[in-house]
Structure 1
């Protein structure tokens, strides 16, 4: 964990770029005013990363918000790290078009990190044998745009260990990031091991278990010990393992509180008590059936 160019700690990607350990997750953040308000609160709180996706329908709103707000904070485009993702409906032969559409929506010359959002293809069954070929075609398109400098780093989301090994065996450009569900009930130990072996940065979403983990007794107990919120404890548990987090919120106060995770540390006993909750429980979609 290191800090470069700002007070926000970062992780080093295999591209040589640094990615902030904390970003704003933008899933279900809809409407220009809502996005503007959330981005404003995030920048004020020190966030420098924003995680969007074609499927979220808010790329254009994010682009407009940043154009308006970066000057307010004496920042430029290079001071923020923007992630977006390829829609499952563009998986395969439409991947290049989909990625270029994201660039156009964001109104940017480049995207810092672009991910294949899902290993399957919208409209195909999870067991459809066309899925692997579509993934490979998508990756080839992303590699091309990466080499052109339009996508500074490329990666994947919701891939299983088998999907990761399949990609590693065939790609010309290794993925920089894998973004998956990760929290104390789903510690993803095998997937993290595969990422370490491949030199891929492991990034978390759904760190708060869709809010359900905020009432988990072990989490509440650690939070009370440190006089912190349960959300701060869950996010700290991840970043203390050098796992980047993307808490999503539209509430400025919650955004500020979620950002206050770098001025305290959990003890080894705290970390162990939370990790002991692991039972492979997912709150979100399960990619394990996608061939």
Structure 2
């Protein structure tokens, strides 16, 4: 992969992944996707995060095919993530993963995740969930062995799901993607990922926008003359945690890259981390069997 404006993290597959990626949740429609990808590539993004449930894989693939040459880049210069939808957990996982490959139409997917530990249509307590996760992982392992998925991982797994997977997998997950921000520090989960050699990646770094107006975040932002979004993203990357800010606004897309020319003081890092109260703004996997 060519150099990017952002640093990278080394996955356990031996591949470098950009620490900054563009999240594409709720980014729908060919024109919106094209505009956001164009702005992101111009700003130096080299990583893009999609999912089957986002319904934008085909538009993302088409936009990249058109825009990579414009920016002097090739397929190998970008890192593409997508995810298996809960609807296809288990029996339908192989077909669904191949459908994502077909939709993106980029030859391979750099990182493919199981999006959710449960199965759509089953109760969270349903004891079929573990078996379905195992079937999905076996499908991902097979496609990884074929080179179609360069790395495989999981999203929204809690501690027990991770331990279950590590005990049964042939290929360990390269990455765990979960909600992570100062009000949800996920300390134990991060520690287990470190122990297993699994990259820990954040989504919803801004707390769905709620944290942008938090008094402590505003105070830190004022102290270092940065935007609240830059402060929240910097808090994560300063701990070595990759982030996926999402925006369709070219100015915000650019500003969200400006994370690597400043540091937060230890006092400011501690002030933000002290907000940890286990608060989730997104879906909660805690009760999934």
Shorter-chain TM-score above 0.5? yes
In structure 1, which of residues 222, 228, 231 is the aligned counterpart of residue 229 of structure 2? 231
| 1: CA distance, partners of 2:131 / 2:195 | 24
Partner of 1:104: 102
Give the count of matched residue pairs. Answer: 289
Within 5 A, what are the aligned runs for 1:141-156?
Answer: 141-156=139-154
TM-score, normalised to structure 1, is 0.98
- How many Å apart are 1:8 and its aligned residue? 2.0
Partner of 2:284: 286
Within 5 A, what are the aligned runs for 1:155-166?
Answer: 155-166=153-164
Partner of 2:34: 36
The residue matched to 1:83 in structure 2 has which SS?
strand
Partner of 1:128: 126
Partner of 1:85: 83
- How many Å apart are 1:108 and its aligned residue? 1.7
Partner of 1:66: 64
Asked whether the equivalents of residues 114 and 154 of structure 2 are also in contact (C-alpha less than 8 Å), the reply is yes
- How many Å apart are 1:261 and its aligned residue? 0.7
Asked whether the equivalents of residues 4 and 45 of structure 2 are also in contact (C-alpha less than 8 Å), the reply is no
- How many Å apart are 1:23 and its aligned residue? 0.4
In structure 1, which of residues 270, 273, 276 is the aligned counterpart of residue 271 of structure 2? 273
Q: Deviations over 1:107-136 (max 9, x none)?
A: 121100000000000000000010000000
The residue matched to 1:289 in structure 2 has which SS?
coil
Runs of 4+ residues over 4 Å off in structure 1: none
Asked whether the equivalents of residues 156 and 175 of structure 1 are also in contact (C-alpha less than 8 Å), the reply is yes
| 2: CA distance, partners of 1:165 / 1:6 | 34
| 1: CA distance, partners of 2:205 / 2:3 | 26
Partner of 1:244: 242
> Is 2:21 the partner of 1:23?
yes
- How many Å apart are 1:101 and its aligned residue? 0.3
Q: Deviations over 1:67-91 (max 9, x none)?
A: 0100011000000000000011110
> Is 2:168 the partner of 1:198?
no
Cα 1:115–1:129 change in 2 (3 A) is same
- How many Å apart are 1:93 and its aligned residue? 1.0
| 1: CA distance, partners of 2:271 / 2:155 | 28
- How many Å apart are 1:57 and its aligned residue? 0.2
Name structure 1 gaps, 5 residues minimum: none
- How many Å apart are 1:6 and its aligned residue? 3.0
The residue matched to 1:70 in structure 2 has which SS?
helix
Asked whether the equivalents of residues 4 and 10 of structure 1 are also in contact (C-alpha less than 8 Å), the reply is no
In structure 2, which of residues 46, 64, 80 is the aligned counterpart of residue 48 of structure 1? 46
| 2: CA distance, partners of 1:45 / 1:15 | 27
- How many Å apart are 1:5 and its aligned residue? 2.7
